[in-house]
Amino acid sequence: MYPGHYAKQHPDRAAFVMAGTGEAISYRDFEARSNALAHTLRAMGLQRLDHYSIFMENNNRYLEACSAGERSGLFYTCVNSYLTAQEVAYIVDNSESQVLITSAAKYDIAVEVLAMCDRVKLMLVVDGPTDHQDARIRNYAEALADQPTEPIPDERLGTPMLYSSGTTGRPKGIIRPLPDQDPSEEMPLFVFLQQLWRYREDMVYLSPAPLYHSAPQAAVGLTLRNGGTAIIMERFDPVQYLRLIEEHQVTHTQLVPTMFSRMLKLPESERSRFDLSSLEIAVHAAAPCPPQVKEQMIDWWGPIIHEYYGATEGLGFTACDSHEWLAHRGTVGKVILGDLHILDDDMNPMPPGQPGTIWFETATDFEYHNDPDKTAEATSPDGTMTTVGDVGYVDDDNFLYLTDRKTFMIISGGVNIYPQETENLLITHPKVTDAAVIGVPNADLGEEVKAIVQLVPGVEATDDVTEELLAFCNKHLSRQKVPRSIDYEDELPRLPTGKLYKRQLRDRYWGEGANKIV
């Protein structure tokens, strides 16, 4: 989020544009706003390596809230804007944040959070109240109004300290060593990503995802460091997304697989009415993409699609462009950063084609903030490798295939079943909008396979539909992977980043505290 010399070289160029309103913020204004907030944070006593949090929806102040930390030597934590007050308070407190930046839209929740977080000295509210009986709560613009717009005298590099999504348990903060250097010098991880994603000056990046997530954080930040323009969608809408590509001549973008699925389910007349020829690179990440979905996207968009796998922790990366994928049908691609190992539970190597836990010889050092037990759990006994519990296998050509998350594995009658393959199949059925597959209690088998399905609008959840979906699964899957039953929901608890919040679903069947996920 640090624009560097572009604020002087191209002050009138748009640093970012809000998609919904068309509001464009120039590099000049973005630099001034970021500096004013950096001065405010210093005035509150925050020094290098201190922490603050951001809890907002995508809005026109979000990027400067990040940029201020990146030039002040601070760790800034972007909190999922869909969390409850208790969930937000846990992250704010766990991250040791001294300042909370929020918005009018999140104000009521933020006030509850503040009451639970004594360490927070100041809460800035974008478009919020100008006076409040709690002296810690201040209007954002008012607090910055008298601050200088030039850089603070002791500028140092800062970085995000993001939290895992909490789809399998409590969110965990991922903290990396922060070098004591000028903010114009990038960390090696981001230098690598800039080359990997083929970023360049004058690029136009379309961001359809929440800015609290690691992928848009990195992508938008690198766009600004390259003097490009970021188009920020307030929320994803498939038709608006396609229109914005044409309207702004977008060159780069990043999506999650559920966004692909929603675009593919548009009527052909909607999908084909926009000119997408400006696109050079479309990255997708965050969750594995069902092969059938990827094939359809390649038929539509061609060789511009690139698939990447790398956890928030930055353990390692694999990459694959469309041509490679078509040749190998790999779930992700070849390992390009960090040596990867597929190991069993006893840390023994698995042969090619056999799934096991994915371990990386760590590409970047990290630890889970204030959680040495989780850090140790994710680290090999000799300290040379780390994992986030993903399961997969590597073929003879060194292509990685993601099977599932270890914590999502279903053990039915002693057989290990990974539900992702069943989910990937169900999502391709013309009557299905979204699908989750979980293990639920079974007195004889321990667990049995259950599908939870969100149907397309206009399709009713009838016995005939259930029989049709089960027959579809029986036709394409081995018997143990076929659901024994199907339940229906109006909408599945999927985060805007594309991750399925399975813990919520499992709790309905196993009960709070009985859920086997830890």
What CATH number is attached to the domain comprising 75? 3.40.50.980
CATH number at 505 reads 3.30.300.30
- Domain with 477 in it: 415-510
Does pLDDT of 287 surpass 70? no
147, 173, 199 — which closes off a domain? 173
Burial class (CB in 10 A: 0-12, 13-18, 19+), 219: buried
Most confident listed range (208-212, 240-244, 478-482): 240-244
Give, in order, the Cα–Cα distances in Å from 161 to each of 61, 76, 172, 270, 336. 19, 6, 10, 39, 24
Residue 311's pLDDT band, with cuts at 50, 70 and 90, is low
Percent of the chain whose pLDDT exceeds 70: 94
Q: Is residue 505 part of a domain?
A: yes
Does pLDDT of 516 surpass 70? no
* For residues 355-383, average pLDDT: 85
Does pLDDT of 463 surpass 80? yes
* DSSP conformation letters of 484-513: SEEEE-SS--B-TTS-B-HHHHHHHHH-TT
What pLDDT was estimated at residue 192? 82
Separation CA 390–CA 366 (nearest Å): 17
Q: Is residue 72 part of a domain?
A: yes
What pLDDT was estimated at residue 517? 27
Residue 514's pLDDT band, with cuts at 50, 70 and 90, is very low
Does pLDDT of 453 surpass 70? yes
When the pLDDT of each residue in the chain is averaged and rounded to a whole number, the result is 89
Instruction: Report yes or no: 253 and 230 within 8 Å, Cβ to Cβ.
Output: no
- Chain centre distance of CA 452: 23
What pLDDT was estimated at residue 365? 76
Does pLDDT of 445 surpass 90? no
| Number of separate domains in the chain | 2
118 Cβ contact partners less than 8 Å away, ≥ 6 residues apart: none
Structure tokens at 118: 């004594």
Separation CA 226–CA 223 (nearest Å): 5
What pLDDT was estimated at residue 168? 54
Q: Is residue 489 part of a domain?
A: yes
* Number of other residues whose CB lies within 10 A of the CB of residue 454: 18
Of 40 and 194, the structure prediction assigns the larger pLDDT to 40
125, 144, 173 — which closes off a domain? 173
Mean pLDDT lowest among 109-118, 123-132, 465-474: 123-132
Q: Compute φ and ψ for 302, nearest 5 degrees.
A: 80, -150
Residue 351's pLDDT band, with cuts at 50, 70 and 90, is very high
What pLDDT was estimated at residue 321? 79
Residue 244's pLDDT band, with cuts at 50, 70 and 90, is very high
Does pLDDT of 513 surpass 50? no
Q: Is residue 4 part of a domain?
A: no
Place of tokens 């800039």: 194
Residue 316's pLDDT band, with cuts at 50, 70 and 90, is low
Nearest alpha carbon to residue 423 among 388, 462, 401, 452: 452
Task: Using the CB atoms, write b or e for 94-109: b if 16+ within 10 Å.
Answer: bbbbbbbbbbbbbbeb
Q: What angle do CA 269, 272, 278 make, to 5 degrees?
A: 155
95 Cβ contact partners less than 8 Å away, ≥ 6 residues apart: 51, 53, 75, 77, 161, 163, 173, 369
What's the half-sphere exposure (Cβ side, CA atoms, 13 Å) at 32?
A: 10
467 Cβ contact partners less than 8 Å away, ≥ 6 residues apart: none
Eight-class DSSP state of 399: B
Does pLDDT of 512 surpass 60? no
Q: Compute φ and ψ for 98, nearest 5 degrees.
A: -100, -15
Q: Is residue 54 part of a domain?
A: yes
118, 138, 173 — which closes off a domain? 173
Q: Is residue 452 part of a domain?
A: yes
Q: Is residue 157 part of a domain?
A: yes
Separation CA 88–CA 112 (nearest Å): 9
- Chain centre distance of CA 177: 21
What pLDDT was estimated at residue 314? 60
What pLDDT was estimated at residue 55? 98
Separation CA 150–CA 7 (nearest Å): 12
Q: Is residue 69 part of a domain?
A: yes
Separation CA 372–CA 115 (nearest Å): 28
The pLDDT tens digits for 247-277 are 999 999 999 888 998 899 899 999 999 999 9
